Structures are given as C-alpha cells and as structure tokens.
Structure 1
Amino acid sequence: MKTSAAVLRTTTTDRPYSDTRPLSVEELTLDAPGPGELLVAIRAAGVCHSDLSVVTGQRVRPLPMALGHEAAGLVQAVGEGVTDVVLGDHVVLVFVPGCGECAWCRTNQPALCATGAAANGAGELMGGGQRLHAADGTTVKHHLGVSAFAEYAVVHRSSAVVIDRDVPFDVAAVLGCAMLTGVGAVFHTADVAAGDSVTVLGLGGVGQAVVLGAVARGASPVVAVDPVPAKQQLALELGATHACGPDEAEALLTSLNDGGSRWVFEAAGVPAVMERAFTLTGRGGTNVCVGLPAPDAKVTFPALAFAGESKTVTGSYMGSSVPQLDIPMLIQRWRDGLLPVERLVSAILPLEAVNDAFEELAAGRAVRQLIHPGADWESTR
C-alpha cells in the first residue's frame, strides 16, 4: 500500500528549518505486516526532542529514515501469529520493542531490551529489515520501531499497547513517550514519596510530565526551572509550587530546602544542565538524568559529593516503565483527573507542516506539538 511519510535524508547541525527544511513528505510503499506485526493508521503523533536530535545529527541513525516515535492510532491489519489484537483496536505506540526473552525483559525491564535496542539502532523492526520503500526502490529506515510521522505504520506487536477506545488519540499519543518517560521517572526510577522535595530542570514535554508525576505523588515543594517564562507558567498551572529561570534556581532552593532538593530531575539532555542538576541536589539526594545528550557528551561532577554528601546520580530510560502495565495506569490516573495530559499539547498540525513543528521545538516555544497525518486531520482534533 501507499503512505505519506516524513523522511529525513540528510542531517544538519545548523538550524534545519527556515532554510534547509530537511524533512520531506514523500509517498512511500509500505509492506503488509509480517508475522508478529500490526498495520496501524496513525491518528496523532507527538513531536519530541528525540526526533529533533536525529534531525540535527546529535543522535546518529541510519538514513534515509521516516521519523516519529510517539503516537497513537487504529489497527488496520494483523500479521500472522498475533492473537491478542483485533482490527479496530486503538493502540499507543512505544519506542522500545521488547523481545520478552533477553535478561532485561525477563527481569521486567523492557526499556533496556537488548534485541529491541539493536533493532532500533539499525533502523529495523524487531522481525528484521524495513517495511518502507521509496519511489526509487530503496528502503527507508524505521525510527525506533515506529516511524509515526506517516499516515500508516507497520510495527512489531510489542511496540503497541491496546487501550480503551474512548481515550482521545491526542491524549493517547503523549502517553507513549513523554508521559512514560517523565511520570515513570518519578513513579519508578525515583519512587518519589509524598512530602519529598522535587526540582525539574527543562520543561519540555518530558519535563512537564515529571512535574505532573511529582504533583500526583504529593511532592512538596515542586520547583520547575526553565529559561522560557511560558513554560514556567504552564508548570505552575500543572501544580508546581514554584517556577523560575536557571539563574534563580540555586537561591530559591536554598530558601526552600536548606541547600537543595531530595530529587532533581534533569530533562534537557544538555551536559551543563546535567551538572547544574547535580549542584542543586541536596545532601543525601538523587539527581535523576532523563534527557538524552549526544553520545560523545561528557559531564563532570565533584567527586567528594558522592561520599562526603551521599549524593547519587541515576539514569532513567523510558521512565523505567513497563508499557503494557504503565499505559493503562496512566490512563486511569488521567480519568481520575490526576494527570491532565491534554494540557501538554501546544499545537495540532497536519503532516505537511512537520518542518514548522521542528522549528518551533528547536526555538524552545513548544511543549508537545501533535501531527495529525491523515487528510482529515482537522476533524480528528
């Protein structure tokens, strides 16, 4: 079948938008789903900084590649051997497929699945190879097993979580990356308790999800830090007790927490911000690194702080989540009014405006923009 998709053929380290606009919306041929796979009509796809990192070359991926990894859609066809998904099911797509057999999957850590990571790095699906083909016959790589900036996608069964059909696609899409990563870091990696002090550095989609998770856990105070005033204001509206720019953070935390927070979440993926997060972590506290820096980036921490102040640094990938369990949990908390996911959505755009969406993201003006790939994108708001 044919599908329109946003394809990246050349990366750039410069602002790739107003001049080069590197993503091209192309008509591709999409193979039918093979054994263990699904065909999904994409209804909403989030524009995430992980996509931007591929565009700029910060995250090295094989090209050409059809981008997009945070999405929700409608199952259109089911491959051989899939018995627990039916036509018409609504699904959230997740960016690490799990093999179910490696040491990480067996210990309930599917975000660290070795087979899934290898497939993602090669731009392949879990079953091997690609299902997308350009007009000249060349194959187009898959982004994180999803490639959601497209009308249709073929994904491995483990990349999809079936959800209730009454959940709006615009809510469901954000669950697959921003909420799994941000809320999961609070609930699972840190296991924040009521009354714990929390600081969040970087208030994009993932950072705001951390704020939502901290508020849902009853943390206090919750301090949101970002140079963009509009993002600070959104964090306050989501329940943060305080918000400020980076230059004011240290003085504010000193006045609130006597020297730092119990938990400091870094959601920018920038080495200087990671180091700053460690500085803002209080004695006996933990700095949780959620953002994705460049592979060759290095950070420096004062060695004495580990033994001398009992500080800890820990990583969190996909929020240490188990998508098949955690996405239903997130939906229930959304239903209960504890996770107003829709507040994160900055704009809804057609597929043809995908370069505009990346320009807004790179400029720091957007939290979570959604792409509606179908021609009827306006009617699915």
Structure 2
Amino acid sequence: MKIKAAVLYEMGKSRPYDESNPLQIEAVDLSTPGYDEVLVKIHAAGLCHSDLSVIDGSRARPLPMVLGHEASGEVMECGAGVNDLKQGDHVVFSFVPMCGHCIPCTTGRPALCEPGALANTKGTLLEGGMRLKNHSLDGLRHHLGVSAFAEYVVASRRSLVKINTAIPYEISALFGCAVLTGVGAVINTARLTAGQTIVIAGLGGVGLAGVLGALSGGAASVIAADINPYKRAMALQLDAHHVIDPADSNAVQQVQDLTGGGVDIAVEFAGAIKALEFAYAVTKRGGTTVTAGLPHPSHTFSLSPAILVGEERTLKGSYLGSCIPSRDIPAFISLYQTGRLPVNKLLSHTIALEQINEGFERLANGDALRQVVSFA
C-alpha cells in the first residue's frame, strides 16, 4: 500500500531544520505484515530527542530510515501467528521489541532483549525484515522497530502493547517513551520509596515525566533542574517542590542546603555530561544516581572510585525505564486515568506531519516539551 512518511536520507544537516528539511515527506510503499507482525494505523507520534539524535548524527543509524518511535495507533490487520490482537484494538509501541526467549527477557529485563537490540541497530523488524520502500524501490530502515512518522506501519507483535480504548491517542502515545523512560527510571531503576528526596536533571518531556513519577511515588522533596527557565517554570506548574539552575555557581550547594547534605536519588535525563556530573555531585552518601540520557557515544564521564566505595554510592544506567512494557504501560495509564499521573500536561504542541521539521527545530531549540504529530 502507498502511505505518506517522513524519511531521513542524510544525518547532520545544518539548522534551522525548518529550512534544511532533514526529513522528507514522501509517498512510500508499505508491504503487508508477515508472520507475527501487525499493520497499524498511526494516530499520534511524539517527537523525542532520540529521533533528534539521529537527525543531528549523534546516534548513527543506517539510512535511509523512517524515524519515529513513540506512538499509538489502531490495529488494521494481523499477520499469521498473531492471535491476541484484532482489528480495531488500540496499541502503544515499545521501542525495544522483546523476543521473550533470550536471557534478559526470561529474567525480567526485556529492555535489554538481545535480538531486539540487534534488530534496532540494523534498522529492521525483530525477525530481520524490512517492510518499507521508497519511490526508487530502495529499502527504508525501521527506526527502533516502529518508524512512527508515517500514516501506517508494520511492526512486530513484540513491539505492541494493547491498551484501553478510552484514552486519547495524543496522550497514549506519550506512554511509549516519555512516560516509560521518565517514570520508569524513577520507579523501576532508582526504586524510589515514599519519603525520599530526589533531583530530576534535564526537563524535557522525559524529565518532566520523571517529575510526575517522583510525585506519584511519594517523594518528600522533588527538585527539578534545567538551564532553561521555561522548563523550570513548567516543572513548578507540575508541582515540583523546588527548581534549580544547574549552571549557577552554587547550584550543588543549593541542593545540599535544601536537603541537608544531598538527595537520596538523582536522575539525569539531559543526555549531557555536565548534567550527569551535577546529578552525581548532589547525590548524598549512600545515595543512587541514575542516568537515562544518551549523550554522544564518544562522551565520557569520570568519577573517583574512592568516593564510590567510601560513600557506598550507586551509579546506574536506565534504558526504557527498566520497564516491562506489557506490565508498566497499562499500570501507568491507570495512574493517569485516576489523576495521579497527569501526563497530558506534558503535551505542548500538536502538529501535522508536514510540520515535522519545524517541530524538530523547536525541540532542538528547547522551545517545546512533548510535541505530537496527529494523523487525524
């Protein structure tokens, strides 16, 4: 079938993106779903820094590729072997397809699925195939098994989580990355318990989801940190207890004064080494620092092993919020529906597919929280 999609042919184009147009909106061919695959009509797809990092070349991927990994949609057709979904079901995508058979999957860590990671690196679906071609009949790669900046997609059944049909698509899309990564890093990776203090460093859509997760999890003090005053103001609107500009010369001291020596947990979402250094510096003795950001692979972070040992610190990475999507997406949606996780407040812009380059320029400039492409 012919569909409209946003295709990336070249990484590292100059900004502003609304002039250089790194994403080309064009008609492409989408083949029918194969075994254990599903055809999904995309209704909403979020713009995320993980897409931006491919556009700017920080995270190299094989090209050409249809980007987009945070999305929700409606099942249109199921391939052979898919017996637990049907036409009309609503689904949210997980950006790591999970085979269910490798050691990480069978030991409760499906975010580290080995076949899923291999497929994502190659830009294929879980079983190794590609279902997209451009006008020259050249194969188009799939971004993280999703490629959501398109009217329709074919995805592995292992990339999909069935959800309640009552939630609007523009909101349910956010659960596929911003909420999974942000809330999951706080609840699953850092293992926040009620009464603890926490710093959230980096207040994009994922970081602000982390703020909501910390509040929902019963944190006694939620301190939100970002160099962007607009994002700090948004954190206050979401009921963060304090905001800090980490660029201030006394930023670490400010946190220590607020908490009596440092926080129990600091989670970094900025994808910047300075943000991680700040998060580590404000973590108290015996505390936990989590990084969920993805800086350029060549960037490194140094620390003193003597401090790590002598203060019994914990430094952890978090991917996909250490989530089990089939468990956590419905659980987080339930929290949203009861008012305890108001992720609708993260949605700053709803745009058309034709405005996607403008949207990524807005994201790169720090002028947006979560933008969603709506396929009305």
TM-score scaled by structure 2? 0.97
Cα deviation for residue 26 of structure 1 reads 1.0
How far apart, in 2, do the equivalents of 1:220 and 1:141 lie?
45
Q: Report the equivalent of 1:281.
A: 283
Cα deviation for residue 13 of structure 1 reads 6.2
Alpha-carbon contact 2:216-2:340 (below 8 Å) kept: yes
Look up the equivalent residue of 2:145 and give its one-letter code: G
**DSSP-derived class of the 2:39 partner:** strand
Residues 136-167 of structure 1 show CA distances to partners (whole Å, capped at 9, x for unaligned) of 11000000000001100100001110111111
How far apart, in 2, do the equivalents of 1:295 and 1:228 lie?
24
Alpha-carbon contact 2:5-2:28 (below 8 Å) kept: yes
Residues 251-283 of structure 1 show CA distances to partners (whole Å, capped at 9, x for unaligned) of 321211122111000001111211221111111
Q: Report the equivalent of 1:10.
A: 10
**DSSP-derived class of the 2:75 partner:** strand
The correspondence for 1:335, drawn from 327, 334, 337, is 337
Alpha-carbon contact 2:94-2:159 (below 8 Å) kept: yes
Q: Report the equivalent of 2:129.
A: 129
Q: Report the equivalent of 1:319.
A: 321
Q: Report the equivalent of 2:84.
A: 84
RMSD after superposition: 1.1
Alpha-carbon contact 1:224-1:235 (below 8 Å) kept: yes
How far apart, in 2, do the equivalents of 1:184 and 1:81 lie?
30
Look up the equivalent residue of 1:346 and give its one-letter code: S
How far apart, in 2, do the equivalents of 1:283 and 1:14 lie?
44
Alpha-carbon contact 2:252-2:278 (below 8 Å) kept: no
Note closer, same or farther for the CA distance 1:18–1:331 as it changes in structure 2 (3 Å cut): closer
How far apart, in 2, do the equivalents of 1:127 and 1:77 lie?
18
Look up the equivalent residue of 1:262 and give its one-letter code: D
More displaced 10-residue stretch of structure 1: 140-149 or 241-250 = 241-250
- 1:181 aligned to 2:219? no
Percent identity, aligned pairs only, is: 48
Cα deviation for residue 82 of structure 1 reads 0.2
**DSSP-derived class of the 1:297 partner:** coil
Look up the equivalent residue of 1:184 and give its one-letter code: G
- 1:272 aligned to 2:274? yes
Cα deviation for residue 300 of structure 1 reads 1.0
Q: Report the equivalent of 2:60.
A: 60
More displaced 10-residue stretch of structure 1: 81-90 or 286-295 = 286-295
TM-score scaled by structure 1? 0.96
Cα deviation for residue 227 of structure 1 reads 1.4
Cα deviation for residue 127 of structure 1 reads 1.8
How far apart, in 1, do the equivalents of 2:324 and 2:228 lie?
32
Aligned pairs for 1:180-329 (under 5 A) are 180-248=180-248, 249-329=251-331
Alpha-carbon contact 1:16-1:56 (below 8 Å) kept: no
The correspondence for 1:346, drawn from 345, 348, 357, is 348
**DSSP-derived class of the 1:119 partner:** helix
Cα deviation for residue 245 of structure 1 reads 1.1
Cα deviation for residue 14 of structure 1 reads 4.0
**DSSP-derived class of the 1:247 partner:** coil
List runs of 5+ in structure 1 lacking aligned partners.
Answer: none
Residues 12-57 of structure 1 show CA distances to partners (whole Å, capped at 9, x for unaligned) of 1643514422110010000001110011110000000000000011
Cα deviation for residue 322 of structure 1 reads 0.3
Residues 63-115 of structure 1 show CA distances to partners (whole Å, capped at 9, x for unaligned) of 00000000000111100010000000000011000011100000111100000
Alpha-carbon contact 2:288-2:316 (below 8 Å) kept: yes
How far apart, in 1, do the equivalents of 2:127 and 2:373 lie?
27
Residues 301-335 of structure 1 show CA distances to partners (whole Å, capped at 9, x for unaligned) of 12321122222210110010000010110111001
Alpha-carbon contact 1:16-1:22 (below 8 Å) kept: no
Alpha-carbon contact 2:69-2:144 (below 8 Å) kept: yes
More displaced 10-residue stretch of structure 1: 232-241 or 321-330 = 232-241
How far apart, in 1, do the equivalents of 2:205 and 2:273 lie?
19
More displaced 10-residue stretch of structure 1: 225-234 or 120-129 = 225-234
How far apart, in 2, do the equivalents of 1:6 and 1:259 lie?
48
Q: Which runs of 4+ in 1 moved over 3 A?
A: none
Alpha-carbon contact 2:13-2:20 (below 8 Å) kept: no
Aligned pairs for 1:19-58 (under 5 A) are 19-58=19-58
**DSSP-derived class of the 2:177 partner:** helix
Alignment coverage as a number of residue pairs: 374
Look up the equivalent residue of 1:268 and give its one-letter code: A
Q: Report the equivalent of 1:366.
A: 368
Q: Report the equivalent of 1:139.
A: 139
